[in-house]
Amino acid sequence: MSADAVADRAPSRRTVVVTGASAGLGYHAAEQLAAKGHRVVLAVRNPERGAAAERSIRRHVDDADLAMLHLDLADLTSVRAAAERLADLGPVHALLNNAGVVGSAERQETAQGFELQVGTNHLGHFAWTALALPLLDQHVGRVVHLGSIAHRFATLDPRDPLATGRYEGHRQYARSKLAVMLFGFELAERLADAGSSVASVVAHPGLALDAAAPPRPDVAPTRSEPAWMRAGSGWVAQGKDAGAWPLVHAAVGDGVRSGEYWGPGGPLQFAGAPAVVPARIRAHDRTAAARLWTASERATGVAFALDALV
């Protein structure tokens, strides 16, 4: 189906599932989507924080159309249960795979024993996407993956693409984000090969800080931010609200094509209006992506059935 035909079929009001919608980028993306008139499913791990985010969105957006979905991406049992519940929420037009764990000095593990950052940021979303993909509108559906400029500083070991070996806290987040991006770009290729009209798009927020975003007292910050980052936020970074713009555009904006990478269009991609931006070549390495895909299916026990989507 051509891009023009897809645009003609795209509903003006869509249902978007936002993972990690109770704080940070996920919260601001959910608020912005609701303000645009879209129905937003808040997929959250903590029900209390999810309820607080819902109250905050309703305080700032009149007639916000919201639904809640419990989803713990660090537990594959929860992922499967959430996908089953999603089927009861009606047609879904986009998955905004935003949730993630950022940094840990010591190794932590998911419910199934995977390292927490790779296990949540990549493996949890890998399984979630495979299970939720059949529920997407097969004409205009989109999957948006949260990339990061941190992918520039990572490589994946060909013998250990899930980084299950020696733990290095300062590198693990970057590895997890490179894995997310390899998966997102590879999914775009495989969807196209299967003849599917569903789009897979990667987006990133630049250098986005809670401290530079409009205050939302009901919503807990995602993590503490060093004073030097807050001091420089006016010229080298932007708020989490602005960081959410590329994510929202990738999910519901016009002119978005499968396989693209959206982020801030300013210098070094730190801040600025949403634009198509380049990723490092390693994020498009299909050999590395195939190794990662195979390892991810084996680890999660979840396989993609892309031919069944058409």
pLDDT band (50, 70, 90) for residue 247:
very high
pLDDT given at position 56: 97
Question: If you average pLDDT over residues 92-108, what whole number do you get?
Answer: 93
Q: With beta carbons less than 8 A apart as the criterion, state whether 148 and 177 touch.
A: yes
pLDDT of residue 8 exceeding 70, the answer is: no
Question: What integer is the mean pLDDT of 277-296?
Answer: 97
Sorted by where each begins, the domain ranges of the chain are: 3-309
| Across 139-144, average pLDDT | 97
Residue 62: partners with Cβ closer than 8 Å, 6 or more residues away: none
pLDDT for the residue 226: 52
Average pLDDT over residues 247-256: 98
pLDDT of residue 34: 98
- The pTM of the full predicted model, rounded to 2 decimals, is 0.92
- Cβ pair 133, 308 in contact under 8 A: no
Q: What is the mean pLDDT of the chain?
A: 91
Pairing label, strands 208-209, 238-239: parallel
Choose the weakest-confidence range: 38-52, 158-172, 275-289, 295-309: 158-172
Is a pLDDT exceeding 60 seen at residue 1? no
pLDDT at 3: 47
pLDDT given for residue 210 in this prediction: 73
**pLDDT tens per residue across span 32-78:** 999 999 999 999 999 999 999 999 999 999 999 999 999 999 999 99
How many whole angstroms separate alpha carbon 25 and alpha carbon 110?
Answer: 22
What is the per-residue pLDDT for 228? 45
Whether 173 is catalytic: yes
pLDDT at 284 over 90: yes
Chain segment 66-75, per-residue pLDDT in tens: 999 999 999 9
Number of H helices, E strands in the chain: 12, 10
Q: What is the pLDDT of residue 78?
A: 98
Q: Is the pLDDT of residue 181 over 90?
A: yes
Averaged pLDDT, 207-219: 81
Q: For domain 3-309, give the CATH superfamily.
A: NAD(P)-binding Rossmann-like Domain (3.40.50.720)
Length of the chain, in residues: 310
Closest CA to 54 of 219, 251, 244, 220: 219
Work out the pLDDT band at 2, boundaries 50, 70, 90. Answer: very low
pLDDT at 291 over 70: yes
> Tokens standing for 42?
């808040």
pLDDT reported for residue 211: 76
More confident residue, 199 or 229: 199
C-alpha span between 140 and 82 (Å, rounded): 22
Residue 117: the pLDDT is 95
From the candidates 27, 167, 173, 261, which is the catalytic residue?
173
Report the pLDDT averaged over residues 101-124: 94
Q: In the prediction, which pLDDT does 10 show? A: 63
Close Cβ partners of 103 (under 8 Å, ≥ 6 residues apart): 117, 169, 170, 173, 223
Whole-number Å distance between alpha carbons of 297 and 304? 8
